[in-house]
Structure 1
């Protein structure tokens, strides 16, 4: 007896409601308006710290725009060759956003180091006032994004970026005040390097997480080996092989496996028990389980529909996933 079962559910990944879009747009308007003003003030004040903050805010705005575009794409139904639809569009945009952060960080590092050795005149008062306004704007934008659904990698990335901007503006405000009090203009470049550290941290995180999904790795915090042992530990389950755990997109884990049960077991009952355990203990509700009786290969009969040996239906000659077997009792 062979049973193959797959099912999908409505997952809470990504931003889905109109209210979520509205919060993202509010944050985008706040960030874009202030970013434009900051570029002008940064040029007038000759402040690299302000310009680096503006560059960081540009990536924040881009991440929100990409999240909105990916949201619209992800809403399209699966059809044709795109059997998952466009749900991974958000992962593409998250990776692009992370790479952009790293490239901007490299350029700002070069400029900051150059200014440490050849510091220009910096208007400390303009830097301080602009940074204080930036703190207020980032607090408002962070609050707006926090109201949206943050299970999407893009939305969470945008949230973390704006939060990082808040700390960056605090560093810039401190630098502006220090330049006013001490006249040491190199402090502006030091504040820029603080922003660079935050940009690298956010960029590496986005590239790492999006890369994990592209490479079909198991979700963070999920151990496929542990799952396999739990599955084979259930009564009547003898072996689990071709076990795969991956994420279709952020917040939507999936699992597939070939399960062999003892010859007296009810395949349907075992499959339901496995699905309940995976949903309860690992929050994996998108599963595809093929359940067969162990030892079917001992019989030379053929499947009437496929005209294939039963052994080929029960066992994989070349398993392409983890294999877990129930321990045999000692003789």
Structure 2
């Protein structure tokens, strides 16, 4: 079971809370004329879409493997995170653009509905944040959802601060300034999430796995003399895999007993040292390398 699916109920509750708060903020933005509140509502809308996509992806990821898709639909979660990150980037750019355009004008802001809606949104974000805080490290989708809710909470605080400033000083540009701050909060998190997605799709070595140390562990197994074609990558968050060609000190054909002994040694050596759930080893005798057309070390 993928991490997102395991936390499906949390995500469903976060989705319901976020949608409710988004509607309250959108209504508050319409009544008050606040761009900052509208930007925060737009951010919450993308959060809701992101969580919805994550839930659909989690459902797809639970589908069984087939001969055509030997790992099933597990990578659907990564694709969902990619869509979420791209939408966040677009929202961040639009919010910053609108903040610049509004800086030159000073529209009248109704601070009372602005503050009420911002407080409702902030409270909703705080509840959602508490629901996700323990699960945020389990997958890209959960991390993305946590970061988005955290950004929403900061955004709501920025709107509250802007509302208080406008109410007490009459400086209407505080609304545009808060909008700009919200946009700056969105972009770095979106780019960070997009980088993590790219690492998975490019099959980069998972964080926390040092291939040099893995190589040392493999070659420390009795009768293993070399290892090549050593690769580690990630299918989806929490599902790292590893493959390698392992050369053993045997001439001619390998006997079954030797293969089993080496495989048992590899499993015992790697277990507990590296968080890899799926390993594939090709056991080869010395001299087999010259029969391989291409080697990726």
For residues 2-48 of structure 1, give each alpha carbon's deviation from its aligned partner in whole angstroms, at most 9, with x where no partner exists. xxxxxxxxxx532334xx33322221111101101211111221111
- Counterpart contact for 1:23–1:147, Cα < 8 Å: no
Structure 1 partner of 2:283: 291
1:278 corresponds in structure 2 to: 270
Aligned to 1:111: 98
- Deviation at residue 222 of structure 1 after TM alignment: 2.3
Instruction: Tell whether the 8 Å contact from 2:221 to 2:269 is kept in structure 1 after alignment.
Output: no
Q: 2: CA distance between counterparts of 1:268 and 1:318?
A: 26
Which aligned pairs between 1:68-83 and structure 2 lie closer than 5 A?
68-83=55-70
Residue 189 of structure 1 corresponds to which residue in structure 2? 176
| Greater Cα shift, 248-257 or 114-123 | 114-123
CA contact (8 A) 1:245 1:253 kept: yes
- Give TM-score scaled by structure 2 length: 0.91
The structure number with the bigger radius of gyration is 1
The answer on whether the counterparts of 1:267 and 1:292 sit within 8 Å (CA) in structure 2 is: no
Determine whether 1:318 maps to 2:279: no
Given the alignment of the two structures, is residue 44 of structure 1 paired with residue 31 of structure 2, yes or no?
A: yes
Distance 1:296 1:246, change over 3 A: closer
Unaligned 5+ residue runs, structure 2? 252-256
User: d(CA) in 2 for partners of 1:101 and 1:174?
Assistant: 23
Scaled by the length of structure 1, what TM-score is found? Answer: 0.82
Q: 1:121 to 1:277 in 2, by over 3 A?
A: farther
Contact 2:222–2:265 (Cα < 8 Å) also in 1: no
Match of 1:214 in 2: 201
Q: For 1:101 and 1:292, how far apart are their aligned partners in 2?
A: 48
SS in 1 for 2:232: strand
**What secondary structure sits across from 2:138 in the alignment?**
coil
Query: What is the 5 A alignment of 1:80-99?
Result: 80-99=67-86
Instruction: Report the CA distance between 1:118 and its aligned residue.
Output: 1.9
C-alpha separation in 2, matches of 1:143 and 1:80: 41
CA distance in structure 1 between the aligned counterparts of 2:145 and 2:195, rounded to whole angstroms: 15
User: Could you list the runs of 5+ residues in structure 1 that have no partner in the other structure?
Assistant: 1-11, 298-310, 323-331
C-alpha separation in 2, matches of 1:55 and 1:94:
18
Q: How does 1:201-280 map to 2 (within 5 A)?
A: 201-263=188-250, 266-280=258-272
Q: Secondary structure at the match of 1:79?
A: coil
Residue 149 of structure 1 deviates from its aligned partner by 7.9
Distance 2:126 2:95 in 1: 24
The range that moved more, 84-93 or 141-150, is 141-150
Alignment partners' CA distance in 2, 1:111 and 1:169: 18
Instruction: Give aligned pairs, total.
Output: 292
